Amino acid sequence: MLQLLPSAKCLFDEPIQVKVTGLSPRQVVTMRARLIDEKGAVFSSLATYRANGSGEIDLDRDASLGGSYVGVEPMGLLWSMCTETLPKMFQKTNSMNPQIVTFSVHDEGNRVLAEMMNERFLMGDGVSRVFVKEGNIRGVLFTPPGEGPFPAVLDLCISKSEIRACLLANKGFVVFMVDLYNDKAFNGKEMQLDYFEEAMDFLKLQAKVGSKGVGIMANSKGAIIGLSLAAFVPGVKAVVCINGRNTNSSVVVCYKKQEVLSTLMFDYIKLINPDSFFVIGRYVFKNPLAEKLKASTVPIERAKGHFLFAASEDDLHWASKAHMDGMVERLQCHGKENFESVSYPGAGHLLEPPYRPYCPSSFQGAEGTLVMMGGEPKSHAAAEVHLWKKIQDFFRTRLSCNTEQIQAKL
């Protein structure tokens, strides 16, 4: 018998305990996990286990002998899933439906001994989801159940995925997810901070929001915009910068009809192509310390709020750890202490909420090719678990709430 505890239904970012009973003493079996994402991509994993003398296997206790991972890894069947052919990024944009994962147990002849479905929900009971089309802004607003007051977080998303925003709403935050590359903010040549300021203003007006300011959560290119908002736009109290940098690239950034950041261009000579399919973009940017390129650097020392910098040390897309160290040094040189930082050895570029399939590479429109993201699956998975909790703790600490804010709106 296969058991998923405490229930076969859970939130996407919650761990489960996988147990098997009723096997022969010391029987060797293969455990498998499989899912199909919204684009039809099939992700799967497998691991070999040996039952104990009572014919039982407990993934919280027992070590995998081989397969997609080895050792004691309670959630290994989830984070080690990958596609069988060309690596693909797991896609989940519809937060209304759970992600179905099929767990199964097979004997040495590959006969199915047991099978069970795990429904992994993005939206918990009482969380509301509303598509917003107001003024210039477009996005999706997630609100937790209860009266509040709740902290407000703006999620700058670069992949139109609602996973991060929705899961954070389950933790007691009002989260507004906006697409970084929408046509109101981005015209192909310029990125307008005014659009995101309008989104912040909309978020602060929500009835259940009790924080005095707004938190911003962003990674990669979105983190550059998040840092820019903290530097130039009032009301940003906390910024989570995941594998970002404070040097702007690709397009100029404008605010109040003025260019505030020039663009740091690619140096394609430094583009590393280890084979015919993938490229490493870690070193493609020109030196931001060059005098003529300093106008591309975000003056983060101007920010009134606090920063949480997170960097992956095995990021092959950007030199994230070096960028983070540079931002920390910049703040310290200006006498600032409004930051904390964390780095993760063995983690790659795409740090997301935990327990999703690992993504070693991704197609990038700017480069027009498959880009290596880096990371070792086990280390990357551990980093995602740690960072996800740290993000929640950081926002709870830095986004104070009071009932007077709620009463004033009512």
Handedness of CA 336, 303, 373, 31 (dihedral sign): positive
Strand partners, 272: 280
Query: Which has the closest alpha carbon to 150: 322, 336, 401, 374?
Result: 401
In whole angstroms, give the CA distance from residue 193 to residue 163: 24
Strands (E), 21-168: 28-36, 42-50, 57-58, 66-67, 99-106, 112-121, 128-134, 137-143, 150-157
Token pair in block for residue 185: 């903010």
334 is catalytic: no
Given the residues 306, 317, 323, 349, the one annotated as active site: 349
Residue 410 and residue 249 in contact, taking contact as beta carbons nearer than 8 Å: no
Query: Which has the closest alpha carbon to 260: 305, 172, 196?
Result: 196
45 is catalytic: no
For helices 193-204 and 221-232, angle between their N-to-C axes, nearest 10 degrees: 70
In whole angstroms, give the CA distance from residue 336 to residue 302: 10
In whole angstroms, give the CA distance from residue 346 to residue 314: 5
Residue 233 and residue 156 in contact, taking contact as beta carbons nearer than 8 Å: no
Those residues whose C-beta lies under 8 Å from the C-beta of residue 310, and which sit 6 or more positions away, are 240, 241, 242, 243, 324, 341, 342, 343, 344, 351, 387, 390
Query: Which has the closest alpha carbon to 251: 196, 190, 295?
Result: 190
Strands (E), 144-251: 150-157, 174-179, 190-192, 209-219, 236-242
Given the residues 13, 37, 314, 315, the one annotated as active site: 315
106 is catalytic: no
Given the residues 68, 80, 220, 296, the one annotated as active site: 220
Please count the residues of the chain.
410
H/E stretch holding 409: helix 403-409
In whole angstroms, give the CA distance from residue 130 to residue 122: 14
Residue 79 and residue 351 in contact, taking contact as beta carbons nearer than 8 Å: no
Residues marked active site are found at 220, 315, 349
